[in-house]
Chain A
Amino acid sequence: MPAASNQDSPPADPRPPRSVGLEVFSIRGLVKTFGDDHPYVALQDVELTVTNGEFLCLLGASGCGKSTLLNLLAGFEKPSGGELLYRGKPIGGPGRERVMFFQDANAALLPWQTVQQNVEFGLRLQGLLRSERRTRAEACLQLVGLAEHRHKVPSEISGGMRQRLQIARALAVQPDVFLMDEPFAALDAITRRRMHAALLEVWAREKRTIVFVTHDIMEALTLADRVAVMSMGPGSRIAQCMTIDQARPRNPGDPGLGQLFTRLEQLLHRISPAEAAQ
């Protein structure tokens, strides 16, 4: 059985010191192709810098390669060309300093474990003691408001709670970066608004860097410090970056936000004309 465990590894905080540098991700001339014989060029010449503590939204239509870029940042995929650095070093594979969130919480969580055991999962992998795990999990569950549901299993809580559980589980391993792949797209509008508030609260307290993929312009405007708009594939790239200066919490009815919304919408139409015609 290949079940030999490496639980003995020390439970070190994987985060590098904050003073290391301002750039979390440095992406230059990044290319990603799929297939060998007739390669499909998903990403071409992607240029992007993600700075420390920033909330960056990757915005684009379906199929533009946002998720591909996120998978590269997580280390699930290897770049086909160009430079992709995390805090100055090439990304060798997934690691717990860059935790990914998924839209499908049912698949991402462990359905056979309770809410609390799910949060403790990452800590168990590090071989932390039970008492230590409990304390840390408790703090994370408090932070996302799930403490009173700790003995339930994921199928017994709502979709919004499952997403908060994913946040708590990630927080527990103290990552440097959150990579979020349309995490709230499957939720109803009201729950999504609540999740935005909850996420912003966590972000304000924990000061993590967040790269958040979405196809929803308003979601990007509600959350982001900066919105990177991706062009349609094949060979998609970052078409434009837009800094959002509005103070939080942001109100969708705010005229300044409305202007930005119009600009982004026009930009998206311009770079994906075929999609816009449908």
Chain B
Amino acid sequence: MTALESRAAPLPPARTRLFALRARHKAVLRKLGYIAASFALTLAAWQIIALYVVGPFLIPPPLAVLKAFGPMTANGDLYRDIAMSLSRVAVGYAVGVVLALALGLFMGRIRALHDLLDPIVQAMRFLSPTAMIPIVIIWFGIGEMAKYALVFWGTVAIVLINTIAGVLRTPKIRQHAALCLGASEAQIFRLIVLPSAVPFIVIGMRLALASAFVSIIPAELLAADSGLGYLLQQSSLLLQTDRIFVALVTICLVGFAADQLFYWSTSILLRRYLAVS
């Protein structure tokens, strides 16, 4: 074999796999590097603004906030508040997703149902969870059920609209091809439409997860005795800006962690369905 031929020969599979793995490692490291840089840059800007622009009382500098974390975590109060908020998000979000998925799949598939319900969905999605607080308190009081209901409200429309879009966007050609191969309506729904809609459903669920976190805070601000929103409210009454910032930072970190967890787990578990051109 001449040198030229050996250069043209394809790499053995093990080598190509190794290269692919290295390239992926590199991509992941690059991403993590940028995330770290983004946070570092924000901390620096925060420090400067807090000390030299606005003043440490209105915006406590990062170190002061970090110090305030100490006693709040030591007695476990912060963890309790996080757990309360998370449990409310989890229940409301789960119920909202399940209901929106079921309804969305039917609405995407049944034309009359879609045309009948879509206008009201489009109108009612302008009622934010905050707008629903007064009536929800009258309906459910200030207990857990009210919080679940408000998170549910912040979840359901987003998942619903994206699920419908996913079902409607299933390529006609793919359904026709399946019909030719002998698929029944039920088989087309289960084996073609459902998998084709996965990318849309996942995007809807991710947006709704953020919305669920956003929904729980006003609910806890107005009517609760625990949770991150309650912590915000109490700290505000006592003018404890450092504690307010602890709550705000915690909301950011918990939400970011939840979103990243969702993103990476769906990317891995549903890789086949998401890598669709």
Contacts and interface: CB of A to CB of B under 8 A. Distances in A.
A102 B177 contact: yes
Given A74-B176, A107-B173, A3 B189 contact: yes
B272 interface: yes
Interface of A: 1-7, 14, 74, 76, 93-96, 98-100, 102, 104, 106-113, 121-122, 125-126, 153, 155, 169-170, 173, 175
A110 B192 contact: yes
Contacts of A113: 272
Contact of B186 (A3, A111, A169): A3
Contact of A106 (B183, B185, B192, B277): B277
Contacts of A99: 180-181
B236 interface: no
Interface residues of B, number: 29
Contacts of A104: 171, 173
A203 to B, nearest CB: 18
With most chain A CB atoms within 10 A of its CB, the pick from B181, B183, B184, B187 is B181
B181 A111 contact: no
Given A107-B171, A153-B275, A173-B182, 10 more contacts: A1-B105, A5-B186, A5-B190, A74-B176, A107-B174, A108-B177, A111-B276, A112-B198, A113-B272, A153-B272
Interface string B235-277: 0000000000000000000000000000000000000110111
A98 B180 contact: yes
B181 A155 contact: no
B80 interface: no
Contacts of B272: 112-113, 153
Interface of B: 102, 105, 109, 171, 173-174, 176-187, 189-192, 195, 198, 272-273, 275-277
Nearest to B190: A3
Contacts of B184: 5-6, 125
17 contacts: A2-B109, A3-B189, A3-B190, A94-B176, A98-B180, A100-B177, A102-B173, A104-B171, A108-B174, A109-B177, A110-B195, A111-B277, A112-B272, A112-B276, A121-B178, A155-B275, A173-B181
Contact of A155 (B171, B189, B190, B277): B277
A93 to B, nearest CB: 8
Contacts of A1: 102, 105
Which 4 A-B pairs rank lowest in CB-CB distance, beginning with the nearest? A122-B181, A96-B182, A107-B171, A94-B179
What is the interface of chain A mostly: helix, strand, loop, or mixed? loop
A5 B275 CA distance: 27
Nearest to B195: A112
Contacts, number: 90
A76 B176 contact: yes
A169 B272 CA distance: 20
B196 to A, nearest CB: 9
B14 to A, nearest CB: 16
B263 to A, nearest CB: 19
Contacts of A6: 184, 186-187
With most chain A CB atoms within 10 A of its CB, the pick from B177, B185, B273, B275 is B177
With most chain A CB atoms within 10 A of its CB, the pick from B180, B183, B187, B273 is B180
A122 B277 contact: no
A94 B180 contact: yes
B187 A110 contact: no
Nearest to B102: A1
B52 to A, nearest CB: 53
Contacts of B105: 1
Nearest to B110: A2
A5 B190 CA distance: 9
A155 B276 CA distance: 8
A173 B277 CA distance: 26
B173 A122 contact: no
